[in-house]
C-alpha cells in the first residue's frame, strides 16, 4: 500500500519521435457503489485490494475484487488495518501505546521495542525500520534516530541519526536503506544517504532542500523525486537520479504530475493539466531516453483519477484507479 509522489516529468531533450496518440488501452469498471479508496494490487496481481465497508452491516477492512471478474461482489481479505508488508503476510499496528507486528497466517504477534512508533517493512518482509525523534524542538532542529531490527523486533540497533529528516525508503533488494536529513542542526542542507546493510557502509547520494516524493524503481537503478520551496528557486523541480553512477548527477525533469514505476526503467506519469476533459498517461523510458503517450485526454474518457488514487500491477501490465467521475475503481490494460 504504497503512497506515491505528486511530481513527474520528462527529461529535457528526450527523444520525442516515439510520442504517439491514444493506444489500445482498454478500460474496465471493477466496482460499483462509490467505494474503494487506496487501491493496490495483490502480490500476484490477480486481485485489487482497497479499504471499504461495502454495506452498513459489513465489517470495515481490506476488501478485494478479482481483476478477471469485474463488478463481482468484493470479498474481505482482513479486518486488520495497519501497515502491511509487501507480500501482505505481516501487518503492524498500534495497540495500547505499543507497536505490534502480526503474522496474518497464524496470528503470531510480536511487540516491537520502539515506543509505539510506526515501522517500515523491508521489501522481503524480513526487517523493519523506524525513526525515533528526540525532544520537542521544531522538526528542522529535532534529532531523529534511525533504527533497524528483524521483523519480530529482535536485534534492534540504531544505524544513523539525522536532524530534520528520517527514513526515505528501502532499496528493492532489501539490502539498502535510504535516509535523509542534516548531519548536524547547523548544516545548511540535508543529505540523502544510502546505507548498505550487507557491508555496513554508507554512500552520500546528493544534498538537497525539502526533498519530496522519493520513489526507487524496482530495479534499484533510478530514484525520482522533487524539491519545493528551496532557498534557491533554481533548485526547485522534479529530478531523476541514476544510482548506478558514482557520483550520481540529478537530471532535471519538467511537466509536473503524478508518477508510479511500471518496471525497472519505465516511469508512468499523469501530467497535471487543469482544464483538460480527462487525464493523460505518459510512459518515460529512462534507459532509452524515449517517451510515449499511452492514454490521450479525451471528452467522455473514464480516465479521470481522484485524489491521486492509482496503482500499477506487479507485472506492469495493468493500472487501477479511483474514478473522479463515479468514485468507483476502474482497470486499465496497458499496451
The reported pLDDT for the residue numbered 137 is 66
Half-sphere exposure of 106 (CA within 13 A, CB side): 2
The reported pLDDT for the residue numbered 73 is 93
Q: Which residues of the chain have pLDDT under 70?
A: 1-25, 137, 254-255
Rounded alpha-carbon distances, angstroms, from residue 253 to 4, 239, 311 = 17, 5, 22
* Residue 333 · residue 26 · CB < 8 Å: yes
Kindly tell me the sign of the dihedral angle through the C-alpha atoms of 228, 231, 237, 241: negative
Prediction pTM value: 0.89
Together in a domain, 223 and 193: no
Which tens digit of pLDDT belongs to each residue from 213-232?
Answer: 999 999 999 999 988 887 88
Together in a domain, 247 and 293: yes
Cα dihedral 109→111→112→113 (10° resolution): -160
Together in a domain, 252 and 321: yes
Matching residue, cell 504530475: 257
The reported pLDDT for the residue numbered 135 is 73
Half-sphere exposure of 142 (CA within 13 A, CB side): 15
**Which domain CATH number covers 142?**
2.120.10.60
Together in a domain, 229 and 250: yes
Rounded alpha-carbon distances, angstroms, from residue 323 to 128, 180, 316 = 34, 34, 20
The reported pLDDT for the residue numbered 172 is 97
> For the chain, how many structural domains are there in total?
2
Which tens digit of pLDDT belongs to each residue from 147-193?
Answer: 999 999 999 999 999 998 999 999 999 999 999 999 998 888 899 99
The reported pLDDT for the residue numbered 256 is 74
Together in a domain, 221 and 335: yes
Matching residue, cell 534511525: 146
User: Which residue among 184, 210, 236 closes a domain?
Assistant: 210
Structural domain harbouring 245: 1-78+217-335
Together in a domain, 326 and 273: yes
Amino acid at each position: 500500500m504504497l503512497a506515491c509522489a505528486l511530481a513527474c516529468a520528462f527529461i529535457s531533450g528526450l527523444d520525442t519521435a516515439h510520442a504517439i496518440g491514444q493506444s489500445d488501452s482498454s478500460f474496465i469498471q471493477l466496482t460499483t457503489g462509490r467505494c474503494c479508496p487506496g487501491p493496490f494490487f495483490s502480490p500476484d496481481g490477480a486481485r485489487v485490494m482497497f479499504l471499504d465497508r461495502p454495506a452498513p452491516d459489513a465489517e470495515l477492512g481490506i476488501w478485494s475484487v478479482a481483476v478477471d471478474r469485474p463488478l463481482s461482489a468484493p470479498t474481505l481479505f482482513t479486518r486488520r488495518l495497519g501497515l502491511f508488508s509487501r507480500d501482505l503476510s505481516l501487518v503492524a499496528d498500534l495497540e495500547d501505546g505499543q507497536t505490534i507486528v502480526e503474522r496474518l497466517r497464524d496470528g503470531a504477534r510480536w511487540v516491537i521495542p520502539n515506543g509505539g512508533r510506526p515501522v517500515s517493512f523491508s521489501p522481503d518482509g524480513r526487517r523493519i525500520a523506524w525513526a525515533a525523534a528526540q525532544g520537542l524542538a521544531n522538526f528542522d532542529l529535532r534529532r531523529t534516530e534511525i533504527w533497524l531490527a528483524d521483523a519480530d523486533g529482535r536485534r534492534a540497533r540504531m544505524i544513523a541519526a539525522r536532524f530534520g529528516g528520517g527514513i526515505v525508503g528501502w532499496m528493492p533488494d532489501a539490502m539498502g536503506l535510504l535516509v535523509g536529513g542534516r548531519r548536524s542542526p547547523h548544516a545548511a542542507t540535508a543529505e540523502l544517504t544510502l546505507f548498505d546493510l550487507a557491508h555496513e557502509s554508507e554512500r552520500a547520494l546528493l544534498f538537497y532542500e525539502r526533498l519530496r516524493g522519493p520513489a526507487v524503481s524496482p530495479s534499484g537503478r533510478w530514484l525520482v523525486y522533487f524539491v519545493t520551496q528551496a532557498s534557491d528557486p533554481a533548485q526547485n523541480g522534479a529530478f531523476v537520479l541514476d544510482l548506478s553512477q558514482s557520483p550520481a548527477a540529478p537530471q532535471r525533469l519538467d511537466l509536473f504530475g503524478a508518477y508510479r514505476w511500471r518496471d525497472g526503467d519505465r516511469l508512468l506519469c499523469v501530467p497535471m493539466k487543469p482544464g483538460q476533459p480527462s487525464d493523460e498517461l505518459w510512459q518515460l523510458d529512462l534507459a532509452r531516453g524515449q517517451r510515449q503517450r499511452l492514454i490521450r485526454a479525451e471528452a467522455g474518457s473514464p480516465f479521470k483519477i481522484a485524489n491521486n488514487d492509482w496503482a500499477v500491477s506487479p507485472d506492469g501490465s495493468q493500472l487501477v484507479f479511483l474514478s473522479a467521475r463515479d468514485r468507483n475503481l476502474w482497470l486499465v490494460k496497458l499496451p
